[in-house]
Structure 1
């Protein structure tokens, strides 16, 4: 009886270790995709005061990973890229004008964009994570997934001002 228990215990421990190793490998691939910041954002609609509804197009080999990554990409895009407007929706210039600021202020931006980081305060998925039929495209060996998100640009700007990352609107030129 003890022999069966030992064999079962060894098998369970092996299985748990294998599962943890697979998750760690998957996480490394996701982090690599994040470091490359491959995405596109487009205006969809104006939200309540200070927010904007945008579609973040994220590239990933796993569609479910793209949904969470879209939130990071949307906030990153508002800060560093901005987006073009369309009829009825004004465009948004990037909140920062220095293209090297992410590297220069890496002590701020690295934890800010970590999984579960502060960026989460400023973004929500607006369609409950459901991907529309035309928002899941197969591009080569990966997917291009469009996710609707709402970004609170006013609060994001205020937070970046308080951290000394961007100058306040009333700071002068």
Structure 2
């Protein structure tokens, strides 16, 4: 009796397990595609960061909340390297980007493609800022498709992270991506 139950139920569990794995891979691929479009906003979050660190709030955009949240760390490191952020008063000073985005697309495309993989080196330089409770804000944005009756939703998720900007700079210098500050003098 038990053998018949296992024989009948086992294929169902195997199919469910395979479907879950395929679905997770598809979701991750969509997340990576969203990320590599680099659609985000970066701003100084304020507060006191340890020397060599920047506390930033990343506004990531995605159709799923979980995707925007998990991709925020990639966006934060990308923002420190390529965007920088504006001055926001006494607590925050402007931060210039470490390098020009155009240089990457031409000369260092392969390096940064590997650098920003899910298990890539970017992870060494960023953490969620738990002192600020991680997720700071969630906004649901409505965007219209071509036909007015069809709408789709996109989330704008604000996540506070800490970026080890000095260590990031040293790593990029060591890899020959950017010049050392000492070479300019």
Superposition TM-score, scaled by structure 2 size: 0.86
Aligned mates of 1:152, 1:28 — CA distance in 2: 27
- CA-atom RMSD in angstroms: 1.7
> Structure 1 residues 145 and 101, CA, compared in 2 at 3 Å: closer, same or farther?
same
Q: Tell whether 2:163 aligns with 1:160.
A: no
Deviations 1:100-130 (A, max 9, x none): 4145212211111010211111111113764
Superposition TM-score, scaled by structure 1 size: 0.91
Equivalence for 2:135: 131
Aligned mates of 1:149, 1:137 — CA distance in 2: 18
> Structure 1 residues 139 and 98, CA, compared in 2 at 3 Å: closer, same or farther?
closer
Unaligned residue ranges in structure 2 (runs of 5+): 143-152
**Structure 1 stretches (4+) deviating beyond 6 angstroms?**
none
Equivalence for 1:44: 45
Contact 1:47 / 1:53 at 8 angstroms: preserved in 2? yes
Unaligned residue ranges in structure 1 (runs of 5+): none
What is the total number of aligned residue pairs between the two structures? 171
Contact 1:80 / 1:99 at 8 angstroms: preserved in 2? no
Q: Tell whether 2:99 aligns with 1:96.
A: yes
Aligned mates of 1:98, 1:57 — CA distance in 2: 19
